[in-house]
Structure 1
Amino acid sequence: MPPARVSTVVLDAPDAHELARFYRRLLGYVVRAEEPHWVLIGPPPGSEGVALAFETEPDYVRPVWPTRRPGDQQMMLHLDVEVDDLAAETSRAVEAGATLAAYQPQDDVRVLFDPAGHPFCLWTEAGR
């Protein structure tokens, strides 16, 4: 086993529970732990995937992508979510509460924003 490994990605949000609900719908994850200002979700037992945690940050500022002006809150990271059917999963993500980004840099990737404004990408192996 390596000396260290990433176990969880944590995203700040104005409401941790609201953002956790969105990613549960998007990914089919289940709640693993929950506190008033923090939620941990992950794949159902027996499934693979990276756990996600959400922490309420009262002073949260939505990132701007792509960055337009110096001083904009920059995107610090984004999640890449592999899908089989890009069009269908993009529609499903929007129905779950995501917003499609106006700028789409690649044909085999869709950039979306979660309800807290974090960019994430849906992508398909078909184009790679």
Structure 2
Amino acid sequence: MTASRPRLELHSAVLDAPDARELAAFYRRLLGWETRQDEPDWVTLRAPGGGAGLSFQTESAYVRPVWPAGPGDPQMSVHLDIAVDDLAVAGAHAEAAGATLAGFQPQDDVRVYLDPAGHPFCLFLAE
């Protein structure tokens, strides 16, 4: 007997941070997304065109990941891939929003940045 699969829809990815509102403000500047929920320890952003969003939660025991991680370093558990038309222009925008270019860049056609809480995200050329 085959059971039918229930309706499942990805709502959002959640990033921990020392301050949910501060990290959400960075991604709001970076992506231009709208705030849908704003509580002291929880913020959700949504793209104006719909789709899955990003949520942020304050975690008092947050440990900043290390990129790239070495032995004994806190590992990144997730990163965001963001398609762009121009790496230089998008990179300048990311830095103006508060991102830091990572010291280690593993690919020529991708730029790794760190958000203010240390989460890596990649800008890559859209196909």
* Counterpart position of 1:108: 109
Q: 1:57 aligns with which of 56, 59, 63?
A: 59
Relative to the length of structure 2, the TM-score reads 0.91
Q: Give the gaps of 5 or more residues in structure 1.
A: none
Deviations 1:36-71 (A, max 9, x none): 110001112xx14430000000110000111112x2
SS for the counterpart of 2:23 is helix
Larger Rg: 2
SS for the counterpart of 1:122 is strand
Relative to the length of structure 1, the TM-score reads 0.90
Distance 1:124 1:104 in 2: 15
Deviations 1:67-96 (A, max 9, x none): 112x21100010000011110010110111
SS for the counterpart of 1:81 is strand
Q: 1:67 aligns with which of 65, 69, 73?
A: 69
Distance 1:121 1:48 in 2: 21
Misfit runs of 4+, over 3 Å: none
The alignment-based identity, stated in percent, is 59
Q: Give the gaps of 5 or more residues in structure 2.
A: none
* Counterpart position of 2:41: 37
* Counterpart position of 2:123: 122
